[in-house]
Amino acid sequence: MEALLVSYGIDWANLLVRWLHLITGIAWIGASFYFVWLDNSIRPPKPGSDLEKKGVSGELWAVHGGGFYNPQKYLVAPAELPQELHWFKWEAYATWITGVAMLFIVYYFNASAMMVDKSVANLSGIEAVGVGIGTLVLGWIVYALLCRSPLGKREGLLGLVMFVFIVAVAYLLTHLLSGRAAYIHVGAMIGTIMVGNVLMVIIPGQRKLVEAMQQGRSPDPIHGRRGKQRSVHNNYFTLPILFIMISNHYAMTYTHAHSWLVLAAIMAAGVLIRHFFNLRHKGRVSIGYPVAGVALLLAVAVAIAPRPVAPVATSAPAAAGSAPVAAAAPDFTRIQAIITQRCASCHSDKPTQAGFATAPAGMMLQTPELIHQHAAKIFQRAVQTKDMPLANMTQMTDEERADVAAWFQAGAK
State the pLDDT confidence band at 322, using cuts at 50, 70 and 90: very low
- Do the domain assignments include residue 154? yes
pLDDT at 312: 53
pLDDT at 137: 97
Q: Which residues, 6 or more positions from 343, have their beta carbon under 8 angstroms from its beta carbon?
A: 365, 378, 382, 388, 389, 394, 396
Question: Which of 284, 303, 322 marks a domain boundary?
Answer: 303
- Do the domain assignments include residue 311? no
Please answer whether residues 289 and 212 qualify as being in contact, where contact means their C-beta atoms are separated by less than 8 angstroms: no
- Do the domain assignments include residue 252? yes
Distance CA 148, CA 152 (A): 6
Q: Are residues 393 and 247 in the same domain?
A: no
Q: Which residues, 6 or more positions from 316, have their beta carbon under 8 angstroms from its beta carbon?
A: 325
Estimate to the nearest angstrom the gap between the alpha carbon of 215 and the chain centroid.
43
* % of the chain at pLDDT higher than 70: 94
pLDDT at 327: 54
Question: Which of 260, 288, 303 marks a domain boundary?
Answer: 303
DSSP class per residue in 292-308: HHHHHHHHHHHHTPPPP
- Do the domain assignments include residue 33? no
Q: Are residues 279 and 159 in the same domain?
A: yes
- Do the domain assignments include residue 75? no
**Alpha helices by DSSP H, 215-360:** 221-246, 251-254, 259-281, 288-303, 332-342
Q: Are residues 297 and 373 in the same domain?
A: no
Estimate to the nearest angstrom the gap between the alpha carbon of 292 and the chain centroid.
21
pLDDT at 36: 87
Is residue 393 predicted with pLDDT exceeding 90? no
Secondary structure (3-state) at 311: coil
Distance CA 176, CA 185 (A): 12
Other beta carbons less than 10 A from residue 89's beta carbon:
15
Q: Are residues 284 and 343 in the same domain?
A: no
Q: Are residues 118 and 216 in the same domain?
A: yes
What region, left, alpha or beta, does residue 361 occupy, with left being phi > 0 and alpha being psi -120 to 50 degrees?
A: left
pTM assigned to the model: 0.83
Q: Are residues 110 and 176 in the same domain?
A: yes
In this structure, which amino acid lies at residue 63?
A: V
248-266 residue pLDDT tens? 888 889 989 999 999 999 9
Is residue 148 predicted with pLDDT exceeding 60? yes
Q: Give the residue-averaged pLDDT of 125-142.
A: 96
Q: Are residues 285 and 349 in the same domain?
A: no
- Do the domain assignments include residue 129? yes
Question: By C-alpha distance, which of 177, 278, 203 is closest to 237?
Answer: 278
- Do the domain assignments include residue 389? yes
State the pLDDT confidence band at 103, using cuts at 50, 70 and 90: very high
Is residue 287 predicted with pLDDT exceeding 70? yes
150-170 residue pLDDT tens? 999 999 999 999 999 999 999
Distance CA 281, CA 285 (A): 9
**Cα→Cα distances 218→53, 76, 114, 140, Å:** 16, 9, 53, 31
- Please give the backbone phi and psi of residue 72, each rounded to the nearest 5 degrees, phi first: -130, 140
398-409 residue pLDDT tens? 898 888 988 988
pLDDT at 67: 93
Question: Which of 303, 318, 345 marks a domain boundary?
Answer: 303
**Average pLDDT, whole number, for the chain?**
88
pLDDT at 316: 43
DSSP single-letter state for residue 148: H
Is residue 380 predicted with pLDDT exceeding 90? no
Q: Which residues, 6 or more positions from 247, have their beta carbon under 8 angstroms from its beta carbon?
A: 180, 183, 184, 187, 253, 254, 263
Lowest mean pLDDT among 98-112, 117-131, 198-212, 326-340: 326-340
Q: Are residues 285 and 366 in the same domain?
A: no
More confident residue, 194 or 12: 194
- Please give the backbone phi and psi of residue 150, each rounded to the nearest 5 degrees, phi first: -55, -25
Question: By C-alpha distance, which of 393, 390, 413, 410 is closest to 402?
Answer: 410
- Please give the backbone phi and psi of residue 340, each rounded to the nearest 5 degrees, phi first: -65, -40
For the chain, the 3-state helix, strand and coil shares in percent, each to the nearest 5, are 65, 5, 30
- Do the domain assignments include residue 31? no
Please answer whether residues 335 and 403 qualify as being in contact, where contact means their C-beta atoms are separated by less than 8 angstroms: yes
Please answer whether residues 143 and 159 qualify as being in contact, where contact means their C-beta atoms are separated by less than 8 angstroms: no
Task: State which H helix or E strand residue 62 sits in.
Answer: strand 62-64
State the pLDDT confidence band at 234, using cuts at 50, 70 and 90: very high
- Per-residue b or e along 270-300, where b marks 16 or more CB atoms closer than 10 Å to that residue's CB: bbbbbbbbbebeeeeeeeebbebbeebbeeb
Q: Are residues 203 and 287 in the same domain?
A: yes
Q: Are residues 155 and 277 in the same domain?
A: yes
pLDDT at 388: 85
Distance CA 286, CA 270 (A): 15
Please answer whether residues 144 and 196 qualify as being in contact, where contact means their C-beta atoms are separated by less than 8 angstroms: yes
Q: Are residues 230 and 352 in the same domain?
A: no
* % of the chain at pLDDT higher than 90: 50
Distance CA 37, CA 278 (A): 7
Please answer whether residues 189 and 135 qualify as being in contact, where contact means their C-beta atoms are separated by less than 8 angstroms: yes
Domain extent for 403: 332-409
349-375 residue pLDDT tens? 888 877 677 787 778 888 989 898 888
Distance CA 223, CA 375 (A): 59
pLDDT at 355: 67
State the pLDDT confidence band at 27, using cuts at 50, 70 and 90: very high
The number of folded domains in the chain is 2
Q: Are residues 179 and 269 in the same domain?
A: yes
- Please give the backbone phi and psi of residue 317, each rounded to the nearest 5 degrees, phi first: -65, 145
31-83 residue pLDDT tens? 989 988 998 888 899 888 888 888 888 999 999 988 999 999 888 888 888 88
